[in-house]
Amino acid sequence: MNTSFSFSGIPKFEFGAGKINMLPNIASSYGTDLLLITGNSSFKKSGKLDEIIKKLTDSNIKVHTATVNKEPSPKIVDSIVDCNINNNIDIVAAIGGGSVIDAGKAVAAMLTEKSSVKDFLEGVGTKTPSGSTLPFIAIPTTSGTGSEATKNAVISEVGENGFKKSLRHNNFIPKIAILDPELTITCPSSITASSGLDALSQLIESYVSTKSTPLTDALAFDAIGKVFKALIPVSTNNPDNIELRAEMSYASFISGITLAHAGLGTVHGMASVIGGLVEAPHGLICGKLLAPWCKATIEELKKESSSESNRYLDKFVNIGKILLQTENNRNIILQNLIETLFTWEKKLGLPSLTKYGLKNNMISKIASESGNKNNPVSLTDDIKAEILTKTLV
């Protein structure tokens, strides 16, 4: 057990059905000019966005709007900032999936800076964020990235020399997160599935991370059980179940907390490189990688046969026991966990990443450029290539 660790802040949050109605009162405590960033999604098409804007204007809040319809790039962030730099914005709110919330974080920070967001990205820019930011409210409409709980915003530039990097500072944690599971009901089944698998991968990766702590373990393990219970029903035959939607909203939020404090493993290491090469949804990438990564990691841990590797195997067994509560045979438990994850991928209809432009000739580049940071065992480039090949089918 890691007995030496620290735990930094999480946002104040409001959790529960109907909590979105608190937005006008919360926003008015910070000022009268609100920049509202949304996605071009089912939430907007449902008419709920218009209802929220009306409630804000009825509360004497001037609403400025911007739309983000894909993962944010430096160009998208800079454009929103340029359009609003002279609008005397007091507060920024983002209603949408992880991409929208990441964009909102970056815009809130860059409205106080005099430079492109690209200049502040880790591994790309040369400047360190000052930490200056406008107050930011995160309101997720998907249950996936956990961005509403973290201090970083992921910014991508897709192409041969593309990247997927973070803008990061402790001050970029949202001031408030409004977690209203009713907002996720209109989320399409494909997005519910892929974002849910993203949350699950974050929870499992942080639970078996070499940086995990007793606190992150407790949070992650409980939330993994909630995803196992809720993800398939809300993605298939029971999408309107508010109790199950609440389980997923909670699990997603917890995944953001655990990834921020325990780190992630090779799934997200590979996903980051893929995200710089092709415009595939992040949740889908993680969903396609999760089962083969789990299989490869367990197989490599079994080969090591050390007290350390056995400790991580025990963690995978703990996860597997959620699915097979009355089984005591470790190998059966682990095999069932792996088979369940592969079955879920098929049951949820995750498409091949070839649909988004990922090709065989990219595999070696992705394998060599992606690391094993925090993974419980180091995976060779050849093993990573085998995992990546599974995403092409």
Longest dimension (CA), the chain: 65
* The dihedral sign for the CA sequence 185, 188, 191, 194: positive
pLDDT digits (tens, 9 = 90+) for 221-272: 999 999 999 999 999 999 999 999 999 999 999 999 999 999 999 999 999 9
Q: What pTM does this model have?
A: 0.96
pLDDT at position 43 over 80: no
Cα distance between residue 347 and residue 231, in whole Å? 11
Rounded alpha-carbon distances, angstroms, from residue 368 to 56, 123, 274, 277, 297:
49, 17, 12, 14, 17
pLDDT for 146-155, tens place per residue? 999 999 999 9
Provide the percentage of residues in the chain whose pLDDT is more than 70: 99
Place of tokens 């367990």: 298
Kindly tell me the number of DSSP H helices and DSSP E strands found in the chain: 14, 8
pLDDT of residue 8: 80
Task: Give the span between the Cα atoms of 362 and 385, in whole angstroms.
Answer: 10
What does the pLDDT read at residue 44?
A: 78
Does pLDDT of 379 surpass 90?
yes
Handedness of CA 247, 248, 254, 259 (dihedral sign): positive
Reported as a pLDDT band with limits 50, 70 and 90, residue 65 is very high
User: Does pLDDT of 6 surpass 90?
Assistant: no
**More confident position, 356 or 46:** 356
Percent of the chain exceeding pLDDT 90 equals: 93
Sheet holding 136-140, edge to edge: 12-15, 176-179, 136-140, 91-96, 33-38, 62-67
> Picking from 33-37, 41-45, 88-92, 222-226, which range would have the lowest pLDDT averaged per residue?
41-45
Q: Residue type for 9, please?
A: G
Angstrom distance (rounded) from CA 92 to CA 66: 11
Regarding predicted confidence, which is higher, 39 or 42? 39
Q: What is the tens place of the pLDDT at every residue in 323-350?
A: 999 999 999 999 999 999 999 999 999 9
Is residue 208 scored above 70 in pLDDT?
A: yes
**Model confidence pLDDT, tens digit, residues 114-143:** 899 999 999 999 999 999 999 999 999 999
Q: In this model, does residue 48 exceed pLDDT 90?
A: no
Higher-pLDDT residue of 118 and 45 is 118
- Are the C-beta atoms of residues 281 and 194 closer than 8 Å to each other? yes
* One-character DSSP codes across 264-315: --HHHHHHHHHHHHS---HHHHHHHHHHHHHHHHHHHHHHH-SHHHHHHHHH
Supply the pLDDT for residue 160: 85
| Mean of the per-residue pLDDT values of the chain | 96
Name the residue type at position 135. P
Query: What's the pLDDT band for 5 if we cut at 50, 70, 90?
Result: confident
pLDDT for 1 equals: 63
